[in-house]
Amino acid sequence: MRHAFALAAVALLLSSPPAVAQEGPPLPLAGVPVDFQCLATVAGGHPLLDRHTGQDLHDLAREGEEDPEDLVAWLDEYLCDLIWSELESAGAHASPTDVRLPARAVLNVELVSAHLEGTRMVEQRIGASVMPVNVPHWQLAMRWRVSFDIEYSQTEDAVVVRTGSLELNPAAGAEQDDYSPLRLGALLRASTRGAFSELPRILADEGRLGDLLFAVVERPPGAPADLAVSGALSDGFWNLLAPRADHRHDSLAFYLASDRVPLEGRVALARWFLLNDSDLGLRRDALAWLMAQEGPADAERPLSEPQLQLLHWVLARDKSPRMRAEVTSALVGRVTPEIRDLLLVASVDPDRRVSDVATGALRKFAPPTAAELQAADLGPTPPQLVPWTAALDGRLALPPGNPDRFLLVLASAAGGSAADTWTARWLDYGAITADDDGWALQAWEALAAHPSRWIRERTLSRLSQEVGMVEVEQILLGRIEAEEDPELRVAAIEALDRGTAPGTVGVLLEAAQADDATVRSAAAVALGQVPGKEARGRLELMMRNDPDGRVRRKAKKALRAHDRLGG
């Protein structure tokens, strides 16, 4: 995932009031162990290393560090310390070196560019003319490259699993008033802090910090017995532990949308993922599914007690402002009394993305009193999770190869709208490599007989692009024989690469006697491309005796094509 965020030039204040501690949820990086790797060097001859009137780098650096290499090293340490102070103030701490954690957060920061300028151009009136004039004006702009990963280690020195990197390109600038002497220290502090002040919140929202709670686990033997699923749906439970968020997302969607999973099991899954997963999009979808189980917003049905407890906990304790905002938005439109209590909690949230939505929604209720607002931040009751969800407390490295093969098996086992949608998308756009041919053929054979007509149609469309393979031809021949939908039977006939697979003539001869005229027409066209006396004899009969005039015309045209083959 790649993001770019830039802040407007920061007005430089040489003195500022001390920060006031905010009440509310914990700091965004509270307790997060970070392996901080920083490189903030500039090239020799950079303007930052020059002598300037006022406070320059020579004045800032430690005494005796006049050599350019010493200045570069001092600046690197100084800027990296400024960045780390931003992380520390948000609750982060250095990853320990004497304790092996199940996972660690690795933050790489690199200075890409730094531009220091001492003048700006303004227009001044000189006599009767307006002329551009350069006036003293110091400004500094800095751009950085940031990547953030969660790594799991199974041994002291081997990283076995890594989540996808979160990549950022923060940038910010700072400037002084015209004619002010250079104050480089203040410019460096303002520009660096301007670029990184939002980083803790972004990491809390999108950095998947929840992965720090998980260790690498061996593949579980199957779904817990209390989930009450069997077969491939039980065997595929491990997909919910994959480090790739998109893989977990698809797998959870299959389970939640499947009627083959008991409702109470689906509720338990959704609650676990809402509270524990590290991916914001996945948590948002779990929330949406849970709210759908509570009925429509305008039904005026109170939220169930477990759901009320769950939402209260997220609003009061979750570190991600965006997740708290998602919960608040999910409450909009509901007017039962317990909704007001939840909105009061959200209305005192320190993040305006949460409090503004809550304040607007509260207009439908009686105005809150000061005492109610003061009591809104009282500690919520921790939500209860069923014991079997402990099986999800881990991450499992995906086996090598295309992970779609595991999702295809799971989707087929789960059924339901989410599985069908994913399968159709894979049939339209899924990439197949030479190493995938074996399992892809097995998948196509199963999908060609899928209960959903929608999936069978897309399977035949995909197979029409794979002509020339005898195995594909055999799948198509099987569908011509077994398919009951005339349109799809025609699609299977049209996808054939004529005559390359054993049994083609016999299948087409049978299709030429189908009850549906469109199937007979397609079979006639196909027989026109198949050499041999059997094909020619059937076309002659169809041309003379078929009860449908369109079929007779197709047979006549196919017979001419067959004669050109020399058959």
The pLDDT of residue 7 is 34
- Confidence at residue 156, expressed as pLDDT on a 0 to 100 scale: 57
d(CA 214, CA 278): 10
Rounded CA separation 77/59 (Å): 16
Q: Of 505, 479, 509, 511, whose CA–CA distance to 492 is shortest?
A: 479
Rounded Cα distance, 562 and 500, in Å: 16
CATH number of 219-375: 1.25.10
Q: Per residue of the chain (567 residues), give pLDDT as tens.
A: 444 433 333 333 333 344 444 455 568 898 889 999 999 999 988 999 999 989 999 988 866 566 888 899 999 999 999 999 999 999 999 988 888 788 889 999 999 999 999 998 877 777 777 777 788 999 999 999 999 999 887 665 665 687 778 999 999 999 999 999 999 999 999 999 999 999 998 998 888 888 888 888 888 889 999 999 999 999 999 999 998 889 999 999 999 999 999 999 999 999 999 999 989 999 999 999 999 999 888 778 899 999 999 999 999 988 888 999 999 999 999 989 899 999 999 998 988 999 999 999 999 988 888 777 777 666 788 899 999 999 998 888 888 888 888 999 999 999 999 999 999 998 888 877 766 767 888 888 888 889 889 899 998 988 888 766 788 888 899 999 998 999 999 999 988 876 567 888 889 989 889 999 999 999 999 888 888 888 888 888 999 888 989 989 988 998 888 887 765
Do residues 530 and 508 lie in contact, with contact meaning Cβ atoms separated by under 8 Å? Answer: yes
At residue 146, the 3 state secondary structure works out as strand
Confidence at residue 12, expressed as pLDDT on a 0 to 100 scale = 34
**CB 302: neighbour CB atoms within 10 A?**
15
Whole-number Å distance between alpha carbons of 138 and 98: 45
pLDDT, residue 4, reads: 41
Q: DSSP class of residue 210?
A: G
Q: Which CATH superfamily is domain 464-565 in?
A: Leucine-rich Repeat Variant (1.25.10.10)
Q: Which residue has the tokens 């931003």?
A: 86
Which 8-state DSSP code applies to residue 395? B
3-state secondary structure string across 468-492: CCHHHHHHHHHHHHHCCCHHHHHHH
